[in-house]
Amino acid sequence: MTMKLEWMNKHRELVEKIIKYANAYAHIYNKQMDYHAGVDFSAAQIQVLEYVLENEDQKMSEIAKRLGITRSAFSKNVKKLMDKGLLEKFRCNNNQKDIFLKVTPLGEAVYEQYSKFIYETCFKEMFEIAGQIPQKYVVMMERMMDVFADRTIDLGNKGEKQIYTKIHQP
């Protein structure tokens, strides 16, 4: 006997497509790959580079929140990108607490090559299809994806327990 998934109603096919994409993306998220950019990096790392390019005036914690990842995961990816010479860290002269990031000239060149490759292989066809959708429906789809992402993050955070570790001063 097959179990029915009535709770999804007419949205079963949409949910299936979202799950298929999420699984495909999860498969490559942390995988170091050649995107024809001269440097291997993961999807997680390129997201960080991309957001820093757009938001060099934002603090690291703000960018991590916008990406929907923990500050710890964000920091790990920043370190990897710095090790590859793609990012640099800075402190503002009037606020030594906050850390800001800047993409290096190498990082800009790598991103330019990556964006050409990823556009042709992944986004060109999707954008052509999206171009046929009236803008009001695109806005609704964006809202739907935000709600889904926020609820998924909330669900993932529910099971986490806060653990406090004493910091030893030298």
In a structure prediction context, what are the per-residue pLDDT tens digits for the chain, which is 170 residues long? Answer: 566 778 888 888 898 999 999 999 999 999 999 999 989 999 999 999 999 999 877 888 888 888 888 889 999 999 999 999 999 988 877 777 778 899 999 999 999 999 999 999 999 999 999 999 999 999 999 999 999 888 888 887 776 665 666 666 65
What is the value of pTM for the model shown?
0.77
Q: Which CATH number fits domain 27-126: 3.40.1050.10, 1.10.3720.10, 1.10.10.10, 3.40.50.720?
A: 1.10.10.10
**pLDDT given for residue 56 in this prediction:** 79
In terms of Cα–Cα distance, which of 150, 128, 130, 152 is closest to 139?
130
Task: Tell whether the torsion through CA atoms of 132, 66, 68 and 42 is positive or negative.
Answer: positive
